[in-house]
């Protein structure tokens, strides 16, 4: 994600998750949020939390949640700003279609991250790659 954010010159990374859901996950961390903090970008969770879902009458179907995600990225001026939106593979085509129907330019950068070479690494290989990547990032910073 860090490489994509850099190569696409993004200023915002938004994601399908809600902060409430991330807090409930084992480890309670968002990869997107971690990358945003490392690169000094803006971040937003787009999914409604449990209370918002009840208040809005939102179910689990993509057609229920995706319009909310679109509304939550609108303040970032999506046609003038490069944004990465992280969502499950089952949403990529339908969310892109929704955005385009609403005159927002969108393209799928990675259809399914589980098919990328990095996703095929063992846990030890991934941890070594991450240590090296963080070392490279820190060596480029100036204080």
Give the torsion sign (CA, 61, 48, 10, 38).
Answer: negative
pTM of the model: 0.75
Query: For residue 42, what are its two tokens?
Result: 């803006």
Domain boundaries of the chain, sorted by first residue: 2-111, 112-143
Q: Tens place of pLDDT for every residue, the chain, 143 residues?
A: 898 899 999 999 999 989 998 888 877 788 899 999 999 999 999 999 989 999 999 887 878 999 999 999 999 999 999 999 999 888 889 999 999 999 999 998 877 656 555 555 566 765 675 566 555 544 444 33
């Amino acid at each position: 994600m860090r490489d994509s954010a850099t190569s696409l010159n993004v200023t915002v990374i938004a994601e399908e998750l809600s902060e409430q859901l991330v807090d409930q996950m084992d480890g309670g961390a968002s990869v997107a949020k971690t990358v945003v903090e490392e690169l000094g970008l803006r971040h937003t969770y787009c999914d409604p939390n449990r209370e918002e879902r009840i208040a809005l009458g939102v179910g689990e179907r993509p057609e229920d949640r995706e319009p909310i995600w679109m509304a939550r990225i609108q303040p970032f001026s999506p046609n003038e700003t490069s944004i990465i939106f992280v969502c499950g593979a089952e949403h990529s085509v339908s969310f892109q279609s929704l955005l385009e129907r609403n005159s927002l330019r969108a393209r799928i950068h990675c259809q399914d991250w589980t098919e990328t070479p990095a996703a095929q690494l063992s846990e030890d290989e991934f941890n070594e790659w991450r240590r090296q990547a963080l070392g490279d990032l820190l060596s480029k910073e100036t204080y």
